[in-house]
Amino acid sequence: MKPYDLLFDQALTRVDAERIHHAAFRAIRAAAPVTSRLISAPTASRVGASVRVDALGLSFPHPLGLAAGFDKNAVGIDGLAALGFGHVEIGTVTGEAQPGNPQPRLFRLKADRAIVNRMGFNNDGAEVVAKRLAAWRSRNPPVAEAASHHGRTSFLGPPVLGVNIGKTKVVPEDEAVRDYEKSTGLLARHADYLVVNVSSPNTPGLRDLQAVEKLEPLLAAVRRRADEATPDRRVPLLVKIAPDLSDDDVLAVADLALASGLDGIIATNTTISRDGLASPAAAVEEIGAGGLSGQPLTQRSEDVVRLLRGRVGPDLTLVGVGGITTVDDARRRLAAGADLLQGYTAFVYEGPLWPQRIVRGLARG
**200 has catalytic annotation:** yes
Task: Over range 128-154, report the average pLDDT.
Answer: 74
- The pLDDT tens digits of the residues spanning 146-196 come to 534 444 434 556 899 999 999 999 999 999 999 999 999 999 999 999 999
pLDDT band for 141, please (50, 70, 90 cuts): confident
Among candidate residues 200, 246, 260, 293, the one labeled active-site is 200
Q: Give the phi and the psi of residue 227 in degrees, each rounded to 5.
A: -65, -35
Q: What is the pLDDT of residue 148?
A: 40
**Structure confidence by residue, pLDDT tens digits, 72-108:** 999 999 999 999 999 999 999 999 999 999 999 999 9
CA distances to 101, 116, 230, 295, 325 from 290, in Å: 11, 6, 35, 16, 21
Is 40's pLDDT higher than 80? no
Residue 119, pLDDT > 90, answer yes
Over residues 272-292, the pLDDT tens digits come to: 999 999 999 999 999 999 999
Work out the percent of the chain whose per-residue pLDDT is above 90: 83
Task: Examine the pLDDT at 11 and tell me if it is beyond 70.
Answer: no
CA distances to 134, 217, 225, 235, 290 from 231, in Å: 17, 21, 10, 10, 39
148 vs 207, higher pLDDT: 207
pTM of the shown model: 0.94
Mean pLDDT of the chain: 92
Q: Residues annotated as binding site for FMN?
A: 68-72, 92, 164, 197, 240, 268, 294, 323, 344-345
CB neighbour list of residue 89: distance below 8 Å, 6 or more residues apart: 65, 66, 67, 68, 161, 162, 163, 164, 195, 342
- Known binding residues are 68-72, 92, 117-121, 164, 197, 202, 240, 268-270, 294, 323, 344-345
pLDDT of residue 8: 61
- What residue numbers does the annotated binding site for substrate cover? 72, 117-121, 197, 202, 269-270
Question: Is CATH 3.40.50.2300 what the domain over 3-363 is classified as, yes or no?
Answer: no
pLDDT of 111 above 50: yes
What pLDDT, on a 0 to 100 scale, did the predictor assign at position 143?
78
Residue 349 has pLDDT above 70, yes or no: yes
What are the residue boundaries of the structural domains of the chain, listed by start? 3-363
What is the C-alpha to C-alpha distance for residues 353 and 7, in angstroms, rounded to an integer?
A: 14
Q: Give the pLDDT of residue 12.
A: 64
